[in-house]
Structure 1
Amino acid sequence: MRGASRARQPLGTQNRTLWFWVFVGPFALGLVLFTYVPLAWSVYLSFFDAHNTVSPTEFVGLDNYTSMLRNDAFTDSLVTFAVFSAFIVPTTFVLSLALALMVNRTRRAQAFFRSVFFLPAACSYVVAALIWKLSIFNGVRFGLANTVLGWFGAEQVAWLSTTQPPWYWLVIVTVRLWLQAGFYMILFLAGLQRISPTLYEAAAVDGARPGWQVLRHITLPQLRATSVAVTLLLVINAFQAFDEFYNLLSDSRGYPPYARPPLVYLYYTALGQGQNLGLGSAGAVLLALIIAVVTVGQARWFGLGRKED
Structure 2
Amino acid sequence: MIVPGSASQALAAALAEHTDRALATPEYRWFPDGEECASVPEFGGEEAVVVAATESNDALVELLQLQDAVREAGAETVTTVIPYMGYARQDRAFEHGEPVSARAVARAVSTGTDRVVLVTPHEPDVAEYFDAPVEVLEAAALLADPLPVDLTDPLFLGPDASAEELAVDVRDAYDGGETDFFEKVRDYDTGEVTVMPSDADAAGRDVVVVDDIIATGSTMSEAVAALRERGCDDVYTVCVHGMLAGNARTKLAAAGVTHVVATDTLERAESDVSVAPLVADAL
TM-score over 0.5 (shorter chain): no
User: Per chain length, whose mean CA-contact separation is higher, i.e. which structure has more relative contact order (CA < 8 Å, sep 6+)?
Assistant: 1
Richer in strand (by share): 2
Larger Rg: 1
* Superposition TM-score, scaled by structure 1 size: 0.20
* Superposition TM-score, scaled by structure 2 size: 0.22
